[in-house]
Every structure is written in C-alpha cells, then in structure tokens.
C-alpha cells in the first residue's frame, strides 16, 4: 500500500499539473509565441548587425538566457496564481487542517511550478532549434541549474502568494522586480562589456548567476564562476524554503 504522505503529495502535484495543462492555450502557447518573437527580432534581425558575442553568434549567445527567462517566469507565475487562488477560494484552509505535513504542501506546489517551468523550457528549446544549432557542453550543469532555478522561483511565487491580499498584488512583483532583474540578468549581453562598477552592481542580481551557469551548460562560457553560481542559487533556495515553511507554520497571510 502506498504511504499516505506519498498519496497526499502526488494528489496535490497532479492537481497542480492538471490545473495548467487544462488551460494549455493560456499557459503553454503564449511563452512559445513570445520567445519566437524574441528569436526573430533580437536574434535574427538585431543579432545579424551585432555579430558575435563572447566568441559565439548573437543567436547562440542569447538562446540560453531566453530559455531560462521562460522557465523562471512560468515557474513563478504558476505557483503565485495557484496558491493565491487557493487562499481566495478558502481551499487552503481545508488543506492546512488535513493531516498533511506543511513541507509536503510546499513541495506539491513547487512540483507544479517546476513541471510547468520545465515543459515551457522544453517548448522554447524546440523553438530555438528552428533558429540555431544547439550544442550542449555540460548536460549535468544544464539540468541542475534549470531545476534549481525553477525550484527557486516557484518558492518566490509561493512567498508572493502568501503575502498577496488581492490578485493585483500577484502582478506587482513580476512587473516591478522580476522583469527588470531578468532583463538586467545578462540575457541579451555579457556583463563583461559593462564598466567595472556596473559589473559589480550586476553581480548583486541573482538571475545573473543562473543565466550564466545555464549558458555555461550550453556553450562552455560564463561571466561568473560555476562555484559562485551554485552557491548563490542554493543559498536562495534554502532561504526561501525556510521562510515559506515558517510563514505557513505560523499561518501568516493564509487567510483572505
């Protein structure tokens, strides 16, 4: 017989996956269209004028960043919208009084966010194949970075949903924090091109570490040391998980 905790986790995970696959036209198709436009405009039209970046064609250079950008935004938005909807509909209260450890509740929501992030990442990678010949330098770095980054931003989406008091609050962080950090995270340029001061400022942005480590997995080139990148990502994962667990244990922000 399956362990009750496994049944609880798998049920929550299936619910999260069914939630975004049921409306796949809204959740999976738009990222593919958006990234196709990025590849066409920035990679093809603008990139042909820029030439090489870091020894690679501009299309090759931006491809890892565009994939990671899609993974980050979809992992984040999936958990933020799903968890807040559960608060709004008061479903979360039923889940919290059930004999299910809070850590499994967190893992279930994270699992849904990671699944959507990885599916969208695979779709964007398939789109990228239409524009560039993808080479993989280190598959282990590639897989570990995309998984950890997806977990991190699923946790960030969970924290956003815990503190949100309205559906408008769900869009504030992505609009004013996540989007600027992503665009300034080295998706479209190498931070080595910046003056020394702004290179230092850029290194305060955790997304810089994720995109550069992910780029290393594809191209074998990075502006950031792999050790530093993994240390930053793991630190934020541990911090966000601890904060989310503490808030859910206390019941902070779980009543709408």
* pLDDT on residue 150: 97
Q: Which of 15-24, 32-41, 119-128 has the lowest mean pLDDT?
A: 32-41
Q: Is the pLDDT of residue 101 over 50?
A: yes
Tokens of 110: 């994270």
Mean pLDDT of 130-139: 89
pLDDT confidence band for 144 (50 / 70 / 90):
very high
CA distance 186 to 184: 6
> Which whole number is the average pLDDT over 82-107?
85
Alpha carbons within 13 angstroms on the beta-carbon side of residue 2 total 8
Closest to 175 measured CA to CA, from 39, 77, 37: 77
pLDDT of residue 171: 85
Find how far residue 88's CA is from the centre of its chain: 24
Helix 58-88 and helix 139-163, axial crossing angle in degrees, nearest 10 = 30
pLDDT band at 174 (very low <50, low <70, confident <90, very high): confident
- DSSP letter string over 86-151? HHHTTHHHHHHHSS--HHHHHHHHHHHHHHHHHHHHHHHHHHHTTTS----S-HHHHHHHHHHHHH
What lies within 8 Å, CB to CB, of 175 at 6+ separation is none
Name the residue with higher pLDDT: 16 or 49.
16
Whether 49 shows a pLDDT value over 80: the answer reads: no
In whole angstroms, what is the distance from residue 20 CA to residue 27 CA?
6
Whether pLDDT at 180 is above 70 = yes
Identify the three-state secondary structure at position 176.
helix
| Average of per-residue pLDDT values in the chain | 89
Mean pLDDT, to the nearest integer, of 184-192? Answer: 89
The model's pLDDT over 68-94, given as tens digits with 9 standing for 90+, comes to 999 999 999 999 999 998 888 888 877
Residues 149 and 253: their CA atoms lie apart, in Å, by: 25
DSSP string covering 7-62: HHHHHHHHHHHHHHHHTHHHHTHHHHHHHHHHIIIIIIIIHHHH-EETTEEHHHHH
**CA–CA separation, 144 vs 226, rounded Å?**
12
Query: 252 pLDDT band (50/70/90 cuts)?
Result: low
Give residue 249's pLDDT band: very low, low, confident or very high (50, 70, 90). Answer: confident
Q: Are 127 and 32 in contact (CB under 8 A)?
A: yes
Q: What is the pLDDT of residues 1-36, one digit of tens each?
A: 457 788 888 989 999 999 999 999 999 999 889 988
Mind listing the pLDDT tens digit for each residue in 220-239?
A: 989 999 999 999 999 999 99
Do residues 221 and 138 make contact, with C-beta atoms less than 8 angstroms apart?
no
Half-sphere exposure of 24 (CA within 13 A, CB side): 8
pLDDT of residue 255: 60
pLDDT of residue 256: 55
């Amino acid at each position: 017989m399956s362990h009750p905790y496994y049944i609880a986790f798998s049920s929550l995970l299936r619910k999260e996956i069914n939630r975004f696959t049921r409306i796949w036209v809204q959740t999976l198709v738009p990222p593919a269209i958006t990234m196709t436009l990025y590849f066409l405009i920035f990679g093809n039209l603008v990139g042909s004028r820029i030439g090489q970046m870091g020894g690679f064609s501009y299309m090759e250079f931006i491809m890892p960043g565009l994939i990671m950008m899609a993974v980050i935004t979809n992992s984040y938005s999936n958990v933020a919208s799903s968890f807040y909807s559960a608060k709004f509909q008061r479903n979360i209260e039923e889940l919290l009084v059930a004999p299910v450890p809070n850590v499994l509740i967190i893992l279930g929501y994270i699992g849904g966010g990671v699944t959507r992030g990885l599916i969208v990442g695979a779709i964007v990678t398939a789109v990228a194949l239409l524009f560039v010949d993808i080479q993989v330098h280190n598959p282990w770095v590639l897989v570990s970075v995309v998984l950890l980054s997806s977990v991190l931003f699923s946790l960030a989406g969970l924290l956003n949903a815990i503190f949100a008091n309205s559906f408008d609050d769900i869009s504030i962080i992505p609009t004013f924090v996540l989007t600027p950090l992503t665009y300034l995270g080295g998706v479209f340029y190498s931070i080595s091109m910046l003056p020394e001061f702004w290179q230092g400022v850029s290194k305060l942005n955790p997304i810089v570490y994720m995109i550069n480590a992910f780029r290393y997995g594809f191209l074998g080139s990075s502006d950031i040391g792999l050790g530093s990148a993994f240390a930053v990502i793991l630190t934020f994962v541990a911090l966000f998980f601890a904060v989310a667990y503490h808030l859910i244990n206390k019941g902070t922000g779980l009543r709408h």
